[in-house]
Amino acid sequence: MENNTHAETRLDVIDWGRTNYEAAFASQKVLVDKRRNGEASDTLIFTEHEPVYTLGQRKGAEEHLIWDEATCATKGISVVRSNRGGDITYHGPGQIVGYPIVSLDMHRDLHAYLRSLEAVVINTLANFGLCADRREGKTGIWLGERKICAIGVAVRTWVTYHGFALNVNPDMSHFSGIVPCGITDGTVTSMALELGQSIDTDAVKSSLAVEFQKLFPNTPHTHG
């Protein structure tokens, strides 16, 4: 007999602080299983990773690693293959990474989920005076031809994981070791660069959480 769990869920917001990418990935998978089994609510995780280049599932992503692994090691940057969508990207301190562990079971539309996730970041940046948008044929969030946020998601049994990486105050020199997200007709930027000052990451996290809740309201989810 199929045993379905049907319950009102709330959004939990958790800040993991500074984490190792692979350890955070393992923790995400645990939460995905708990969400799928009805043992956890929808969750928005914030973290800042130790410096790492992650290779997504896009074909040829490894060709966009400019520095060899020995050079990366001398700079304290690890290289990890990920199962998220997309190309190669950088994560490091000063960059807010958001991992939504959210059930799409009642609304099985990954395209709509991605558009909503993009809107969360766009609306947050607007709160800080930055007019960002999508870019035709490109992933992520842009200010003209300057990419400020990378997005790469995965879904398992209609529960999301991975998410977005918003450049707030990262060490931008670390982007020199890759062709970020395979971009050949643009650059990368940060909130600090665009606004000419250091930005309070806690304030950005608070805004992201508010905007996320607006677009992902608490609704019943069913999992079997």
pLDDT of residue 179: 82
Q: What's the pLDDT tens digit per position in 77-136?
A: 999 888 776 778 899 999 999 999 999 988 899 999 999 999 999 999 999 999 999 998
Pairing of strands 88-91, 11-19: unpaired
Dihedral (Cα; 176, 178, 184, 190), 10-degree rounding: -60
Report the alpha-carbon distance of residue 143 to residue 160 in Å, rounded. Answer: 26
Task: Provide DSSP, 45-97.
Answer: EEEEESSEEEE-SSTTGGGGB-S-HHHHHHTT-EEEE-SSSSSEEEE-TTEEE
- Interhelix angle for 110-127 vs 201-215, to 10°? 140
- Please give the average per-residue pLDDT across 54-72, as a whole number: 82
Per annotation, catalytic residue among 72, 131, 149, 181: 181
Which one, of 88, 86, 84, 89, lies nearest residue 100 by Cα? 84
What's the mean pLDDT in 12-21? 95
Rounded CA-CA distance 218/44 in Å is 13
Strand partners, 150: 165
Both tokens assigned to 61: 């992503």
Has residue 3 got a pLDDT over 50? no
204-219 pLDDT per residue, tens: 999 999 999 998 865 4
3-class DSSP assignment, residue 200: coil
In the annotation, is 181 catalytic? yes
Average pLDDT, stretch 62-80?
Answer: 88
Q: Looking at the predicted structure, is the pLDDT value of residue 222 above 50? A: no
Query: How high does pLDDT run on average in the chain?
Result: 88
Q: Considering the entire predicted model, what is its pTM? A: 0.88
| Domains, the chain, with CATH or none | 9-215 (3.30.930.10)
Per-residue pLDDT tens for 162-199? 999 999 999 999 999 888 766 667 789 999 999 999 99
pLDDT at residue number 218: 56
Rounded mean pLDDT, 13-25: 95
**Position 48 pLDDT exceeds 90:** yes
Does position 17 have pLDDT exceeding 70, yes or no?
Answer: yes
Residue type, 87: D
Beta strand pairing status for 187-188 and 159-167? unpaired
